[in-house]
Structure 1
Amino acid sequence: MTTHQTNAHQTGTTPQTGTAHTGGAHTGTTHQNDASMGELVSRLSEEMSHLVRGEFELARLELTEKAKHTGRGAGAFGAAGLVALYGVGVLIATAILALALVLDAWLAALLVGVVLLAIAGIMAMVGKKEVSEGAPMKPERATENIKRDVEAVKQHGRPDDHTARRTP
């Protein structure tokens, strides 16, 4: 026997709770069971309310922290885009200067400008096609499902969820 078990055995207490036992069946009653049902429900309601408020506060703090990180990340992306834009400008100037070694400078600049405008035109056409495929901006399938559910409720008194039994 351990020292704790020996002490419990000698004093007639259980090792987990330190409460006295008489050797008969343990009734399991504690001082908390003395509270009325109304008090217990009231206490439960208060604690649940406190728990929910705490969870909302935790969620707010988490979202605030995530928003700060997102804002800093967006700023870093914006700065990276600006630096990349300057880098593209330098590369364009380099292409013009390289072509100017074999062509007149004005012709090299014109050629690079035409190529860039052609690339921009192709990108614009692809973008227009993608946007037109996404239009109109409404959830068509969800709209149809809602219309069907409304019609089912009008006819049968409940939505048609493919599992509901129809009334005769």
Structure 2
Amino acid sequence: MTDPTVNDKSRESLVTLIGNLPGLVTNLIQAEIEQLKTKAKHLGSYAGKGAIFMVIALIFLFFAIGTLVAVGILALALVLPAWLAALIVFVAFLLIAVVLALIGLSFFKKMSDDAGPVESVKKDLRAVKGVGEYERY
């Protein structure tokens, strides 16, 4: 004899099974979307907590660098007057800031050196016509 509890899926026709397929696919897609939402919530939570700890670590690093600067001033003050040691450290930081600013400025100037898209198209058209400056390969 057959078990009456097994009759529900084992005896369905192929047409019925194919008819159920869109509903099963829809349920599968909804389950996957819910899983992605849950994963995104967890990732967002972890990323937020990680960002908070990184900001706190950077704050402590900021103060640690200030302490290191104070140590440098105090070390120089052993051989020079304290005001001169502080002035030397200030000038050193000022020079570093000026050099970094000039390097940054050079990168900003390079941004304007590139031809815009309109100028590039005009240059290409002149090259196709055989007029103007263009590179030959």
- Which TM-score tier does this pair reach, normalised by the shorter chain? 0.5 to 0.7
> Which of these residues, 103, 120, 129, is aligned with residue 80 of structure 2?
103
Aligned counterparts, 1:1-150, within 5 A? 30-33=10-13, 37=15, 39-130=16-107
Give, as a single letter, the amino acid of the residue that structure 2 aligns with 1:47.
Answer: L
Q: Give the superposed CA RMSD.
A: 2.9
Aligned in 2, Cα 1:52/1:97: closer, same or farther, shift over 3 Å? same
Aligned in 2, Cα 1:60/1:125: closer, same or farther, shift over 3 Å? farther
Question: How far apart are the structure 2 equivalents of 1:105 and 1:112?
Answer: 11
Structure with the higher fraction of residues in helix conformation: 2
Q: Considering only CA atoms, is the larger Rg found in Structure 1 or Structure 2?
A: 1
Q: Could you state the TM-score of these two structures normalised by the residue count of structure 1?
A: 0.55
Unpaired stretches in structure 2, ≥5 consecutive residues? 3-9, 122-137
Identity of counterpart residues, as a percentage? 32
Give, as a single letter, the amino acid of the residue that structure 2 aligns with 1:94.
Answer: V
Give, as a single letter, the amino acid of the residue that structure 1 aligns with 2:12.
Answer: Q
Question: How far apart are the structure 2 equivalents of 1:112 and 1:87?
Answer: 16
Give, as a single letter, the amino acid of the residue that structure 1 aligns with 2:76.
Answer: L
- The structure whose RCO (Cα within 8 Å, separation 6+) is larger is 2
